[in-house]
Structure 1
């Protein structure tokens, strides 16, 4: 005796709907959620805090405008700027102070200050290649400074990083 299945349009739709329901349930159950916590004291959030706490809004705008501009030795525009050129432009536009163009010469015209006495707009000098000053940045607050990095362009950085602490040679103000 042979048995035939009597599949009506209703049972076909029902089977199809059950199949799709099973696929959807399987798909949803395979999508787990994970909780990731981001520390609020990350370098990026600290740099953002330093920017947010600037007293000078024109300094904030200037840095925001220049952030990400690539490094170019001898550069003085948004097509590329070097560290001393960036410090030169910032001090001139924000504070009306004309600095020498070269970082070594800039270091010679500042009034020396200890790191813990630096104020917004003061300069920090580094020697990556020996005894002479060969890099400059502008102090912001809370241990952060802005500079034109040879690899990352204009960026806000943490002065307390060992890479900077080892080569920091002078800091102070222009006036």
Structure 2
């Protein structure tokens, strides 16, 4: 191939790609009686995607008090690591100090990424990350890294507070 022919072919291919990207999608007709929820923008879904990825990484990691790696991790280390790797936010190492970060929010106003705190005994606290649909990601002392329901009778009875770190 000659140099001019190569340039022409590349130009045609580039033009084809650019024109394909600029085409508009057909508009679907909607029945006036059907109610639809507004679609989330990719940015609104980002925390969910990031937390899903974190769960894939940490799922099943055993609980170890003071642990901070895949061999064993405690709840505050898990939250600290997830916030740093997914959101580039540095949080303190302990649940007590994490419970003073951000600002308090009402439990019925939880958004994906909010921290949920529990008083599991007179001296022990627990932390997890709300992932939506009434569930939170955490490092359970009995089952390791897992997802639990906030309305589970145990967690409901131990609920202490929620805090928003992400804006």
TM-score after normalising by structure 1: 0.66
Match of 2:100 among 102, 108, 123: 108
The answer (yes or no) to whether the contact 1:125–1:171 under 8 Å persists in 2 is yes
Number of residues paired by the alignment?
122
SS at structure 1 position matched to 2:65: coil
SS at structure 1 position matched to 2:76: helix
Structure 1 residue aligned with 2:74 = 82
Tell me, in whole angstroms, the C-alpha distance in 2 between the residues paired with 1:160 and 1:54: 25
* Greater C-alpha radius of gyration: 1
SS at structure 2 position matched to 1:93: helix
1:1-175 map, 5 Å: 56-130=48-122, 134-175=125-166
SS at structure 2 position matched to 1:56: helix
1:98-119 CA-to-partner distances (Å, cap 9, x unmatched) read: 1110001100113101111111
TM-score after normalising by structure 2: 0.69
1:109-150 CA-to-partner distances (Å, cap 9, x unmatched) read: 1310111111111100010112x5611000000110000000
Unaligned runs of 5+ in 2: 1-44
Q: Please, what is the CA RMSD of the aligned residues? A: 1.6
The answer (yes or no) to whether the contact 2:58–2:145 under 8 Å persists in 1 is yes
Unaligned runs of 5+ in 1: 1-52
Where does structure 1 differ by over 6 angstroms across 4 or more consecutive aligned residues? Answer: none
The answer (yes or no) to whether the contact 1:54–1:60 under 8 Å persists in 2 is no
